């Protein structure tokens, strides 16, 4: 189950590589182009060092950095698909790998940008596009994603889904991915050290609650303001950590993943089959279990009526603390 020295593809499953990419210092479009070239270089060098690798994952903000003064300007944004994704697609095809990439996407309808992740397959096809459902407010100015949480086929019998950074702090995200069939949840992140412990905790809990593997990787290094902790983490479907990276920029965290075992647990387990038991409560007493929703917050959320008992007293409800203009329009997606 471990991955010490992994460099070859396992007989069943697949070999993954999480890249603790150094936080980019990006001041211009030329800097973004340089990052794209470096990412492509890392795809090929990782494949050369780990010939059996089939999935390579880059963190959030690895393409365009975290320059908050410029990150919503046109020169810093990308179209998805676009020239940048074409370059990544060619690299994946040449290396024969699946790749996960982060892009700040220009809204084709003229709204605020999206924080987007994509998966490209070894044929150079974009097989998944995801827009971050839960931007890290009040820091991030991105629109809340509007593509749901898609799932796609991956290597070694996997069903892949991707979430981005703060998404992983919401248990509903991982549950949604699993409910749609994902047995591997990828989390790409650009967190600084303030939430290091919570990162480790939620990666494990997301795996355990849903009987799925979680593959999570963060930026690493110092950008002159914050330190980014790296610590790529691979969790087993029982919630234990299989591999834990350190804080080193450019560290490559490899792990052997066996989706078939997660699938088997979902079929064979009883006591801890949490994702099944959620919708079939008390099936010993009630054949087939109770199907009715007992959760107030789920009903209210579905009806656009979600409101906390202390909501009127919450102090920060917009981005003004970070200099963003206050907007009053409420948008139902």
Question: What six digits make up the tokens of 123?
Answer: 């044929």
- Catalytic annotation on 47? no
Which domains can be identified in the chain, with CATH numbers? 14-268 (3.60.110.10)
**Among 136, 69, 60, which Cα is nearest to 104's?**
60
Which residues, 6+ apart, have CB-to-CB distance to 226 below 8 Å? 23, 192, 193
Window from 4-8, 170-174, 208-212, 236-240 with minimum mean pLDDT: 4-8
Catalytic residue among 47, 106, 132, 159: 132
What is the per-residue DSSP string for 135-161? --TTT--PPPPSS----EE-GGG-EEE
Confidence of residue 329 (pLDDT cuts 50, 70, 90): low
What global pTM score does this model have? 0.95
Q: Is the pLDDT of residue 332 over 60?
A: no
Question: Which residues on neighbouring strands pair with residue 130, listed in sequence order?
Answer: 117
The reply to whether 92 belongs to the active site is no
Residue tagged active-site, from 78, 152, 163, 165: 165
Whether the Cβ atoms of residue 97 and residue 122 lie closer than 8 Å to each other: yes
Which helix H or strand E contains 205, and what residues bound it?
helix 196-210
Tell me phi and psi for residue 78, to 5 degrees.
-125, 155
The reported pLDDT for the residue numbered 1 is 43
Tokens at 81, concatenated: 């698909």
C-beta of residue 75 within 8 angstroms of C-beta of residue 93:
no
Distance of CA 71 to the CA centre of its chain: 20
Is 231 catalytic? The answer is no
Q: For 252-303, what is each residue's pLDDT tens digit?
A: 999 999 999 999 999 999 989 999 999 999 999 999 999 999 999 999 999 9
pLDDT, mean of residues 125-151: 96
- Do the Cβ atoms of 52 and 219 come closer than 8 Å? no
Catalytic residue among 47, 54, 60, 176: 60
Q: Exposed, middle or buried, 328 (CB in 10 Å: 0-12/13-18/19+)? A: exposed
């Amino acid at each position: 189950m471990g991955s010490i020295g992994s460099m070859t593809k396992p007989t069943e499953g697949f070999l993954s590589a999480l890249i603790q990419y150094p936080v980019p210092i990006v001041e211009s479009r030329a800097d973004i182009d340089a990052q794209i070239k470096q990412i492509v270089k890392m795809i090929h060098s990782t494949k050369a060092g780990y010939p059996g690798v089939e999935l390579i994952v880059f963190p959030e903000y690895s393409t365009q950095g975290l320059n908050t003064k410029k990150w919503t300007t046109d020169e810093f944004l990308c179209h998805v698909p676009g020239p940048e994704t074409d370059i990544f697609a060619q690299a994946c095809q040449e290396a024969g790998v699946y790749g996960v990439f982060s892009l700040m996407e220009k809204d084709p309808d003229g709204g605020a940008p999206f924080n987007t992740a994509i998966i490209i397959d070894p044929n150079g096809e974009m097989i998944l596009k995801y827009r971050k459902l839960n931007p890290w407010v009040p820091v991030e100015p991105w629109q809340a994603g509007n593509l749901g949480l898609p799932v796609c086929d991956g290597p070694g019998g996997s069903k892949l889904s991707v979430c981005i950074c703060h998404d992983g702090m919401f248990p509903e995200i991982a549950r949604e991915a699993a409910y749609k069939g994902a047995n591997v949840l990828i989390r790409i992140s650009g967190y600084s050290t303030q939430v290091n412990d919570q990162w480790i905790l939620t990666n494990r809990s997301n795996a355990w609650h849903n009987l799925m593997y979680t593959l999570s990787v963060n930026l690493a290094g110092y950008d002159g303001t914050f330190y980014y902790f790296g610590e790529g983490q691979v969790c087993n479907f029982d919630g234990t950590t299989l591999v834990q990276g350190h804080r080193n920029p450019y560290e490559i965290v490899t792990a052997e993943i066996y989706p078939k075992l997660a699938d088997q647990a979902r079929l064979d387990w009883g006591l801890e089959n949490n994702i099944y038991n959620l919708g079939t409560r008390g099936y010993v007493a009630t054949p087939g279990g109770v199907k009715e929703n007992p959760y107030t917050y789920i009903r209210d959320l579905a009806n656009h009526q979600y409101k906390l008992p202390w909501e009127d007293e919450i102090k920060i409800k917009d981005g003004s603390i970070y200099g963003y203009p206050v907007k009053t329009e409420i948008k139902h997606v």
